[in-house]
Structure 1
């Protein structure tokens, strides 16, 4: 097992970052165990730091701990997707509605333009996903609701992992819609109709869920992304 060494010995956040990267890269597939002793040796940090780092990831919903079973990466089932994306749809609707008249439309437009350029250059889809997540981060920040932002952060890593899986199982489908859907969100935010932007933001999430549930019903849905990623 090869993980990048932690930059600063004994820091739980560093351990969490490295383990998160490994989960997103598919080093630890969905449902697989993550063992403190092996992680501590690989990261060259204490078991206490690893334990605290895993606690961070458990709060993010990426891993689960159970008595006598240890800690495991979450499974990626259709039911899990339904739960995560139903929460996300509600959050996205509220965030988009709250961001009307407050969000930096130029910043959002620049992110969509960057997506378009990456798409034209046939860049890896994980680069598009990073811009996708940054777009939504910007909307949540602009909403001006601290608890809403905290709720987004509580599911953000799970959403990222599911989106990586969606891309792996439907590479071209994601690339076909990512620019147009986000450009339409910018347009609706600029128009300033709270009801319209709420409806579209929620449907943006639900359409992704429908695709993902269909994909997870197919064979080979282990969740390996093959693409590294990191949420800072």
Structure 2
């Protein structure tokens, strides 16, 4: 399975411009799944009442691209639903079938928890034989939530993770791959946002042994995920069999 991510320099609070940038930059790309960064349509913005989708604008855009490219699309956007705001990660298939995950761990350092409502479900998507755990940015710092109970093969993290803390981002992505015997694809944005935070190119895909398997060409980062190779690795190193039993309890 080929995964292609776009290191997008997100235009601040400008959905139309971001939609056009994404279409232009992915025009000649092919993949089974395309990844877009966290809040790809607006940037990581706390002005939810101003920028949040009320008519599924970002979702409709993903459905359009997914149908045109005959590929799945995955990324997050701010959404208003029933008077609440969510940082919602979509996984859209070419037939428009959609699964979504509401970001669980909200970044209190920026006040995200004061604006957005946390999700209360751990979401795994099944697509083309792969089981994929959906995660957003700050979720990366919480390993219990991402612990592999032998129920997924890959984790997708989409993020707006600034340069000043990028070391933690890169180390934790590799750690999640190793401890969970899984593929981990972390897609970050680039450029400078409306809060003057700078984001360096730092998207990566790691194999279960911590080896980087992604390739980069301009703003495009891609990786080939071989499920047979992963299963062989897990059969040889059966570390998941020794994991601790636990239960995650999520409040509404």
Asked if TM exceeds 0.5, the reply is no
Greater relative CO, 1 or 2 (CA 8 Å, sep 6+): 1
Question: Which one has the largest radius of gyration?
Answer: 1
Give the structure with the larger helix fraction.
1
* TM-score normalised to structure 1 length: 0.31
